[in-house]
């Protein structure tokens, strides 16, 4: 069994050596010991900046490790001193975010800080904090956004990204045109008020061509969704940065957290609006098809 005896080791906070009666806390990430008072003053582990290189205090301070092979004699000779050791725990989400921002926020970049970007995001900050930190600090633009794959229009509208919400809605409707033609001509009874009989007949004769177009459009739609899934967070980051720069230009550099949250965040009513827009686009596509199909066929 291995025991850690911190007596005689130096506190990472103040540099003083631990005694048998000291109240000690240990960083759960790297094992660095601190006086409880020193840790509270510092607010985080002294070796926080070294966590990303997998620094381990115990590995580099093996002289403080006492081994017991199980024999009674060794237990009497090398009995470790009992000390009060506990893991540092973050009790609240805001505290967790604040402590991580000290590490991840490398200052102003792209005209704003990571803190300002997260204030703009407002909702689901725990997800976006590491994603945006990788984009800013390491240039990793690829990430995974499931909602951007399933229903990108809802994601963009909910996040107030109306350009992308409307653009993806239009593209989706265009890619559905072969399906609409197939349903209207092949799956519906003859309706002379909608299409001439000759148009129905010609479309049905070109069923193979329409099926091929359906497959091509289906593949294109899948590719679009995959790209949005991988780059959706990057698009949102760019939107947030441009919005923050625009707010700073209008109100100056001393913008408040409330201003950022009001400009960003989410808006549930936008989901209903984009669904209405998509319905209107579908209706317009059907009306246009009714007019141009007799001309094409």
Provide the pLDDT for residue 216: 95
Helices and strands counted in the chain (H then E): 14, 5
Are 52 and 111 in contact, with CB atoms under 8 Å apart? no
3-state helix, strand, coil in the chain (%, to 5): 60, 5, 30
Rg (CA), the chain: 31
Interatomic CA distance for residues 129 and 103, integer angstroms:
11
- pLDDT for the residue 246: 92
What was the pLDDT predicted at 85? 45
Query: Structure tokens of 57?
Result: 């205090």
CB neighbour burial string for 178-204, b if at least 16 within 10 angstroms, e if fewer = bebbbebbeeeeeeeebbeeebbeebe
Segments in the chain below pLDDT 70: 1-5, 59-92, 185-196, 198-199, 293-297
Instruction: Record the tokens describing residue 141, joined without a space.
Output: 């633009």
Sorted by sequence, the CB contacts under 8 Å of residue 150 that are 6+ apart come out as 225
Q: Which two tokens stand for residue 60?
A: 């580099």
Query: DSSP secondary-structure letter at 50?
Result: G
Report the distance separating Cα 159 and Cα 264, nearest Å: 7
Q: What is the pLDDT of residue 19?
A: 86
In 82-151, which residue ranges form alpha helices assigned H by DSSP? 93-104, 114-121, 125-138, 146-150
Q: How many residues does the chain have?
A: 297
CA distance 205 to 185: 10
Q: Give the count of beta carbons closer than 10 Å to the beta carbon of residue 15.
A: 8
What pLDDT does residue 4 have? 60
Beta strands per DSSP E along the chain? 2-4, 23-26, 33-35, 65-67, 84-87
- For the entire predicted model, the pTM comes to 0.66
List the structure tokens of 219. Answer: 């593949």
Q: What is the pLDDT of residue 59?
A: 65
Cα–Cα dist 216/155, whole Å: 25
273: left (phi over 0), alpha (psi -120 to 50) or beta: alpha
Distance CA 230, CA 146 (A): 9
In this predicted structure, what is the pLDDT of residue 80?
A: 43
φ, ψ of residue 26 to 5 degrees: the values are: -125, 135
- Residue 77, pLDDT score: 39
């Amino acid at each position: 069994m291995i025991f850690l005896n911190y007596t005689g080791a130096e506190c990472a906070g103040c540099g003083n050596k631990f005694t048998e009666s000291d109240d000690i806390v240990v960083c759960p990430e790297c094992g660095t010991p601190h006086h409880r008072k020193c840790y509270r003053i510092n607010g985080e582990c002294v070796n926080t900046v070294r966590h990303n290189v997998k620094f381990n205090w115990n590995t580099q301070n093996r002289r403080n490790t006492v081994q017991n092979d199980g024999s009674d004699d060794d237990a009497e000779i090398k009995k470790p001193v009992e000390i009060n050791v506990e893991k540092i725990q973050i009790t609240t989400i805001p505290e967790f975010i604040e402590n991580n921002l000290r590490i991840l926020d490398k200052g102003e970049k792209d005209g704003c800080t990571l803190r300002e970007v997260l204030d703009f995001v407002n909702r689901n900050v725990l997800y976006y904090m590491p994603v945006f930190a990788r984009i800013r600090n390491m240039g990793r633009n690829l990430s995974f956004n499931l909602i951007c794959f399933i229903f990108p229009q809802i994601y963009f509208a909910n996040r107030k990204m109306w350009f992308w919400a409307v653009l993806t809605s239009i593209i989706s409707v265009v890619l559905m045109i072969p399906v609409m033609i197939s349903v209207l001509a092949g799956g519906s009874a003859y309706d002379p008020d909608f299409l001439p009989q000759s148009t129905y007949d010609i479309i049905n004769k070109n069923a193979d061509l329409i099926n091929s177009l359906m497959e091509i459009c289906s593949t294109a739609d899948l590719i679009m969704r995959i790209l949005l899934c991988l780059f959706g967070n990057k698009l949102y980051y760019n939107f947030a940065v441009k919005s923050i720069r625009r707010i700073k230009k209008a109100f100056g550099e001393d913008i408040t957290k409330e201003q950022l949250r009001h400009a960003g965040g989410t808006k549930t009513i936008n989901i209903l609006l984009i669904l209405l827009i998509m319905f209107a686009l579908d209706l317009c596509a059907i009306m246009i098809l009714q007019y141009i199909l007799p001309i094409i066929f």
